Amino acid sequence: MIDILKSMAITFAMYSKLPVRSFNWEKENMKYCLLFLPMVGLVEGIFLIIFYIFFYKLKVNHILVAAFLTVLPILYTGGIHMDGFLDTMDALGSNQDKQKKLAILKDSNSGAFAITGGLVYILLYFAAMLSLNNITKIYILAISYILIRAYSALSLIVFKNARGSGLAFAFSDNSLIYTNRVVLLIFIVISSVAMIIVNVNYGLLCVIATYLVFLYYRVKSFEEFGGITGDLAGYFLQLAELVVVLVLALAP
C-alpha cells in the first residue's frame, strides 16, 4: 500500500502542479506510476466541470470563460505535455533523419515550427471551447482527460522506446508491466463507456476520434522516430485533447 501511495504521489508531482509530497525515484516507488496517470486526468476533469459551472452561475462573459478553460490544462499540468508537443512540432518540421529528430526533441530551444504549432493549437482550442455552451459536452470533455491519459500511459508500456533511456523509459522500465497494462485497459473501457453513457452520439464520436489519433501517433512515431519518447507521448496527449474538443465543437 505504501508503494502504491508513493507511486501516486510521484505521478501527480510529475504530471500536475498539485502540491503533493515528492518521493525518491526508486524502483519500488515507481512500480505503479503509469497506472495513476489517468487519475491525473480525472482530477483535471473535476476542475474543468467545477470552473465551468462556477463561471456559468456568475454569468461571466463566455469569451473569458473559453480563454480560461483553454489555459486550464496547461496551468494544471505545468505545460509538461505541451512542451512535448512543441518539441515534436520542431522535430517533425525539420525533415531530418531519425537520429537528428530525436536530438531536436531533446533540444530545450524552441524553433519556428514549435512557435507556429503552439499558436495554431491555442487558437483552434480556444475557438472550439468558445463553441462549447453545452454542459453535456463539458462532461464528455472532462472524461476524455482520463481516456487520453490511459492511452498515453499504455503506449509507454506497449510501444518500443526510441531511445532506451530518458523519463518515459524510466517510468515504463520500473513499472509492473502486466498489472499496469490491465488496469490501463480497464481505464480505457470504463472512460469510453462513461462518455457514451453521458451522450451516445457525442461520446461515441470522441471515443472513435481518440482511438484514431492513438493509431496515428503509433504509426507516425515509428515512421519518423523509430519508436516513442516522453515528448511524443505528450504530443499525442495534446493532439488528442485538441481533436476531442474540436469534435465536440463541430458536433450538432
Instruction: Average the pLDDT over 144-159 and give the result.
Output: 94
Instruction: Average the pLDDT over 196-216 and give the result.
Output: 98
% of the chain beyond a pLDDT of 70: 90
In contact, 121 and 242? CB cutoff 8 Å = yes
Non-local (6+) Cβ contacts of 151 within 8 A are 188, 210, 214, 236, 240
Cell triple for 97: 533523419
The Cα-based distances of 137 to 108, 179, 188, 198, 215 in angstroms read 36, 32, 19, 9, 24
Domains of the chain, by residue range, sit at 47-250
In contact, 40 and 149? CB cutoff 8 Å = yes
Instruction: Average the pLDDT over 26-47 and give the result.
Output: 84
Instruction: Average the pLDDT over 188-212 and give the result.
Output: 98
Structure confidence at residue 236 as a pLDDT band (50, 70, 90): very high
Mapped onto helix, strand or coil, the DSSP state of residue 159 is coil
Structure confidence at residue 117 as a pLDDT band (50, 70, 90): very high
% of the chain beyond a pLDDT of 90: 66
Model pLDDT, residue 174? 47
Cell triple for 143: 472524461
Least confident residue range of 101-115, 144-158, 162-176, 190-204:
162-176
Q: How far apart are the first and last CA of the chain?
A: 46
The Cα-based distances of 150 to 37, 102, 180, 184, 191 in angstroms read 7, 24, 10, 5, 9
Model pLDDT, residue 30? 64
